[in-house]
Amino acid sequence: MRDPPEMSVTPLESFPPLEQWDDWVGYDASQWPRKVEQRFMLVPTTCFNCEAACGLVAYVDKATKQIRKLEGNPYHPGSRGRNCAKGPATLNQIEDPDRILYPLKRIGPRGSGKFERTTWDEALDALARPIRAAIQEGRKTEVMYHVGRPGHDGYMDRVLQAWGVDGHNSHTNVCSAAARVGYALWMGADRPSPDHANARFILLLSSHLETGHYFNPHAQRIIEAKAAGAKLCAVDVRLSNTASLADYWLAPWPGTEAMLLLAMAHVILRECLFDRAFLQTWVNWRDMLRATGAPGGSFDDFVRSMKEHYAYASPEAAAKECGVPAEQIVAVAREIGRAGSRFAAHVWRNAAAGNLGGWQVARCLMFLSVLVGAVGTPGGTNPNTRDKFVPPPFMKPPPQNVWSELLYPREYPLAYHELSYLLPHFLKEGRGKIAAYFTRVYNPVWTNPDGMLWEQVLRDEKLIGLHAAITPTWSETAQYADYVLPTGLGAERHDLMSQETHASQWISFRQPVLRVARERMGEHFEWTHQANPGEVWEEDEFWIALSWRIDPDGSLGVRKYFESPYRPRQQISVEEYYRWIFEQSVPGLPAEAAKRNMSPLEYMRRFGAFLVNADTYLGHMEELKPAEAAGAETDTTTGEVRKNGKTIGILADGKPRAGFKTPSRRLEIHSQTMIDWGWPEYAMPAYIESHIHRRKFNPDKGEYALVPTFRLPTLIHTRGNSKWLYELSNANPVWIHPEDAARVGVELADLVRITTDIGYFVNKVWVTEGMRPGVVACSHHLGRWRLSEDTPTHRWVSALVEKQEVAPGRVRFRRIEGVHPYESTDPDTRRIWWTDGGVHQNLTFPVHPDPVSGMHCWHQAVRVERAHPGDLYGDVEVDTNKSMEIYRQWLAMTRPAPGPGGLRRPLWLARAVRPTDEAYRIDGPAR
Amino acid sequence: MKYGFLIDHDRCIGCHACTVACKAENGVPVGNFRTWVKYLEKGKFPEIRRHFAVLRCNHCDNAPCVTICPVNALEKRPDGIVDIDRDACIGCRACMQACPYDAIYLNEDLGAVEKCHFCAHRVEKGLEPACVIVCPEQAIVTGDLDDPASRISQLIKDNRTLVRRPEQGTGPNVHYKGIEPALLAPGEPERPSTYLWSDRPAHKPEAWPISLPVLKDTRVVLDAGHRVEWGWPVALYLVTKGIAAGAGMLAPFAAALGLTGWAAAYLPEILALVFTLATVTLLIEDLARPMLFYRLLTRPNWRSWLVKGGIILGAFGAASAGALGLRLLGLGGAADALRWAEAILGIGAAGYTAFLFDQCEGRDLWQSKWLLPHLLAQAVLCGAVAFLPFSGAYPPLIMVMLAAAVVHLTIAAVERFGPHETTNAKQGAAFLGTIRIGPLLPWREGLLIGGGLAAVLAPIVPSLAFIPALAGLYLYEWAYVRAGQLPPLS
């Protein structure tokens, strides 16, 4: 028998003490109970498995110089040492036997899936050539960087502006565009930052106790509030884990959420539960009275006219429209009223991302926060800009003086942001072409609607001259690249991030932990890829190297932005880039570092995160600076502080204050912008009937609304090749209520064929009481495929499929084999016990661009029927001929620019990588 | 000092962070879990909620896994942690039968069992377990249950908490606050064939017996799978051991039962030795690390009936060999005398399995008071049919055989249809009647062939009666061994 254990005293510590992070001695778990000691270097980094930027600490084994595991970072203000399942699973991605370790170059036709190893040198030259030519020839919209998960704040904006191109494309419009418009119209900031921890009542149109960013930081604070007595309401058509933990679960008909929220506003107005003083000062109610011609001019007149305006949204009317009992609507409204300024609310995707007019869902939700004065308050909802801090880097390039209509077409002047998923439609229409296209951790063929149209365009070398997929792992899109460039995972790269996780501002530093650990042990590396596995680069150094190759002699004016601020005319190192930011741009960091005898960079390398500001409430109450207020006139009746014909602040408590980032500097119940840009009927928060309104369905004919957007608690879209996550989640059956299942004639696990406007997919059913009758739902997180074993996309969970063109434009996917065990360097691949892997659905979705927000309205009108004879599990068929037709139908709903002043977009609305004001003019520089 | 966990299900959000952090910390192979989250849905739309349970080793006060481990590889440490020495483990998986919580799995790469060990390797460096620190909601609380001032003790004092399966008397030390009780009632909620976002592991493909009550509007929607560890070798071992033990038990009566000549002199010992050897071979072969079987002798746990049983088997073999040797040496009288010892040890060899199975706290079906007489009757039946080809239809032997068959059938019927004290035993009994091998219902067919057909054949074709008798018994044992392991423990 072994010796009695040497006991440590309780209570136990959560983390090794900081002073031992360079040499932490732990016991090797794999040898236990033999007491074999292992020495670790603990290096903090930032999780890359969603956008929340939680802290991680990597345990680097000093003997093997490998990462043994990743834990939380106790010094991270957002995540506070804790993580969701995706954090520790980073190890799987690093050790994935199928990960890409060397740069690859296509051989054979594009899309054939045949690649050979190449050098970074060759790839950089090949990419620099067309970009240099495009810049030289003034084709500044022909370079496009298309990003899925950014994972950094502003680095690429700087690179693209240094190149002078208008080429930033994102995934926003398949994700959050609608919510952004709803929030921006109210407060300028396009994102909410609920202060859950201090709330008394929380209303979520989201599932933040299980998914989404900022899941982990939000879930911590929501439960904290619940433990302190707060109540929670979740609005979701299916029973989410979040809904399960809510005091109120409301499952309205999808698409009626705005009506539900307006009914709550109706109750708050009717029962005078609103915050009169707050509204009087901070809402542009006079504009509303003026524009609507409502009688009188007093605040009471405003209240009266609001009651009239929203009279239609009574709880009874909403109950009928939404299918939620009126009493529940009243009960929740009263809870909101009781919570007052401690009412926190959040929507980011959910109903906003599903429906035509979904942007009004966010607007109606924010309406509730405004009514009870819960904006910028403890327990309320902040504009995200108050809780996020992006320190500027050295030498900011000027904004590009060019406007890409492939990104911001004139049909969508109010969209947030780029019409990313319409890129293939635009290219096919001949709106432009692309000389160099980067997909960066972006998988549009799989993720976006109408993936087969993406496939057509990606194959076409006339439309896309050169395609480089920057990705740590295989994807359905990398298949169609000319170069596949492996870049680092969350523990193999530098990035700087900040997120509005709660009422604070912080920054989090992502680090290549092997490099940092080995440098602490005395080695020196010029490049991060020298310390990374294989030839995996970090992107920061890739863009620096590429920029130097684009402009080797500095004659294009590009190179100077990539020269060291410390060593003139030398290439900047990634370390120098962040060193400068930490020294110059982060208030309080140099002083805090000095206290510990560290340089700011050393501090960030050691702690991985820094709390910049813990007092972020009431940003609108900040006094105008004397320089700003100088020469301004104050209208004491309206409280407007005006200068040069523009409102720059609001008089409140006797002082001129900054207010909100809207034209009126107030929260805008009434938006002149909407009127000016052609949508007068939406000047105020309103209910827009969704494209999947239930009037359009007859379940007896098999017609249903499909909600295809929900996420699973452990999955990471398409970047997360993690065995530990896939063994927990490996199927995405179609959720259907038992009544509907009986109507369709299926039982649990039977196959159904779900037919959309452009195709169908065959999946099994999950018959559940946790689903609103009349609606079906399917998670978008599974259904990965690989076309061959040469491009082994996510074999833990992908099916090998045969893709066949059954008729011109008609493509069919059929499974050759499902998920199965296989031999690899990881013995766990032999132990794969699941066979499913799920069914892909997005291929069968036509594009549904909302005419205002540009959001792809995900929900689908579908026919649900028993699988046909011959249908097999996983079958997908799409008719791309129909998809252009439906694109045009939705395009026809738009009301194109120009707006007032001949602009492409209101100047006050945010735009990603903002160009010059001149470029906003419709007759300005563009393509 | 007694470490324990409190899982606060008023805070748990079912996110699986603990599951994955544990895998990362401890290198848990895919398909196995030291801690996992079970999901259950209860209610009807819209009054339905999903509930979670974080399940793992209970670090029991009276840990049955420690008691049954033949080689002392499991240990209850002074600080309350139940730990496993994987180097010592021989892979017999008895602990997996003894654990009433499905907490242990076999690491196939190592051939050793593993389970939550409270991250003892971290605890000894002063750190909390990996699951505790990762939890976004701080829903997993550790501490000293012996210290009334500790936070965990206070939480247990101030809140209503539950433990899993208290009826097993193990003294579990994982306490559940705010949990939906149906989550702690394994097998009572409905179990669909697939889960809400995962395949359901196929380790136990058998349909749930329709005779069992199911909680209304309550179903498991996500759970880990657990393998059935003991299969055909254990069933066959019960048969071979029955033949050996039965031959030994009947040895003193060889002549009275109609054996003559060399058969009367040698047959019982030949059968005893050949089938004891077969039994031991099966036992060793079924170990995940067969080459380490000798540790049963070098580091025995005298509380384990695997060790005691091994000694009894050895002694029985020795007595049989002795009787054979004495007779070969011409010492017939001494050999006859030794046959009485052989018979008594035969009873031990046949019956010790009842005590071993009684140590299987996870298998209530096996913990039956009827098992001891049943095993003895089966042994007599085996011995008798093994003698039959050499005795002809000798009426006393036929009578013995028929009597044993009647007892066997009667007890089998009682096990299947008689009253059972625990839910787990009831579930096991129901499975007895429903599990299949292809078109066969092995329990029913096993009894029909092994009891009925053999009894009919015995007087008519005595030399062939052993075929249906033994084949039937094997089918029966296969069903019995599997059925006992099918009811979920978690």
**Order of strands across the sheet that contains B47-56:** B47-56, B35-44, B218-222
B481 and B238 in contact (C-beta within 8 Å)? yes
Check B197 against A33: CB less than 8 A apart: no
At A518-563, the pLDDT tens digits run: 999 999 999 999 999 999 999 999 999 999 999 999 999 999 999 9
Could you tell me which chain A residue has the CA closest to the CA of B222?
Answer: A728
The shortest CB-CB distance from A731 to any of B75, B128, B199 is to: B199
Q: Residue A826: is its pLDDT beyond 90?
A: yes
The alpha carbon of residue B136 is apart from the nearest alpha carbon of chain A, in Å, by 5
Q: What percent of chain A has pLDDT over 90?
A: 95
Q: How far apart are CA A641 and CA A652, in angstroms?
A: 10
Q: Give the three-class secondary structure for B441.
A: coil
Q: Residue A6: is its pLDDT beyond 80?
A: no
Residue bearing tokens 């060999």: B321
At A707-735, the pLDDT tens digits run: 999 999 899 888 778 999 999 999 999 99
Q: Residue A615: is its pLDDT beyond 70?
A: yes
Residue A424 CB neighbours (<10 A): 28
Closest CA to A877 of A708, A758, A786: A758
Q: How far apart are CA B254 and CA A336, in angstroms?
A: 89
Q: How far apart are the first and last CA of chain B?
A: 27
Check B11 against A223: CB less than 8 A apart: yes
- Listed by number, the residues of chain A in 248-287 with a beta carbon closer than 8 Å to a beta carbon of chain B are 249, 251
The alpha carbon of residue A611 is apart from the nearest alpha carbon of chain B, in Å, by 20
Q: What's the average pLDDT block by block, 10 residues per block, for chain B (490 residues)?
A: 97 98 98 98 98 98 98 97 97 98 97 98 97 98 96 97 96 98 96 95 92 95 96 97 98 95 96 98 97 95 97 97 96 96 98 98 97 98 96 92 96 96 96 94 96 91 94 97 96
- Listed by number, the residues of chain A in 217-246 with a beta carbon closer than 8 Å to a beta carbon of chain B are 219-220, 223, 227, 239, 241-245
Q: Are strands A810-817 and A876-879 parallel, antiparallel or unpaired?
A: antiparallel
pLDDT of residue A836: 92
The shortest CB-CB distance from A27 to any of B125, B193, B194 is to: B125
At A148-176, the pLDDT tens digits run: 989 999 999 999 999 999 999 999 999 99
Check A729 against B198: CB less than 8 A apart: yes
pLDDT of residue A547: 98
Check A85 against B19: CB less than 8 A apart: yes
At A314-335, the pLDDT tens digits run: 999 999 999 999 999 999 999 9
* Interface test with chain A among B121, B152, B155, by most A beta carbons within 10 Å: B121
Check A71 against B31: CB less than 8 A apart: no
State mean pLDDT over A406-421.
97
The HSE-up count of residue B314 (CA atoms within 13 Å, CB side) is: 9
At A720-778, the pLDDT tens digits run: 789 999 999 999 999 999 999 999 999 999 999 999 999 999 999 999 999 999 999 99
Average pLDDT in chain A:
96
pLDDT of residue B46: 96
pTM of the model: 0.96
Check A223 against B135: CB less than 8 A apart: no
The pair of structure tokens assigned to B63 is: 């840990």
At A855-874, the pLDDT tens digits run: 999 999 999 999 999 999 99
The alpha carbon of residue A293 is apart from the nearest alpha carbon of chain B, in Å, by 43
At A55-69, the pLDDT tens digits run: 999 999 999 999 999
State mean pLDDT over A917-922.
96
- Partner B contacted by A834 (CB < 8 A): yes
* Interface test with chain A among B28, B134, B159, by most A beta carbons within 10 Å: B134
The alpha carbon of residue B331 is apart from the nearest alpha carbon of chain A, in Å, by 46
Q: What percent of chain A has pLDDT over 70?
A: 99
Residue A757 CB neighbours (<10 A): 17
Ramachandran region of residue A84, left (φ > 0), alpha (ψ -120 to 50) or beta?
Answer: beta
Q: Residue A1: is its pLDDT beyond 80?
A: no
Measured at the alpha carbon of residue B96, what is the angle toward residues B92 and B97, in degrees to the nearest 5?
95
pLDDT of residue A927: 56
Q: Residue A4: is its pLDDT beyond 50?
A: no
Check A83 against B17: CB less than 8 A apart: yes
φ/ψ (deg, to 5) at A628? -70, -45
* Interface test with chain B among A834, A835, A836, A873, by most B beta carbons within 10 Å: A834
Report the amino acid identity of residue B126. G
Residue bearing tokens 């003790």: B153
pLDDT of residue A852: 98
Check B198 against A731: CB less than 8 A apart: yes
State mean pLDDT over A110-139.
97
Q: Which helix (H) or strand (E) holds B426?
A: helix B423-434
The shortest CB-CB distance from A714 to any of B16, B50, B85 is to: B16
The alpha carbon of residue A236 is apart from the nearest alpha carbon of chain B, in Å, by 11
Check A210 against B13: CB less than 8 A apart: yes
The shortest CB-CB distance from B30 to any of A27, A727, A835 is to: A727
The shortest CB-CB distance from B126 to any of A12, A33, A833 is to: A12
Q: Which residues of B touch A16 (CB under 8 A)?
A: 127
Q: Residue A506: is its pLDDT beyond 60?
A: yes
pLDDT of residue A212: 86
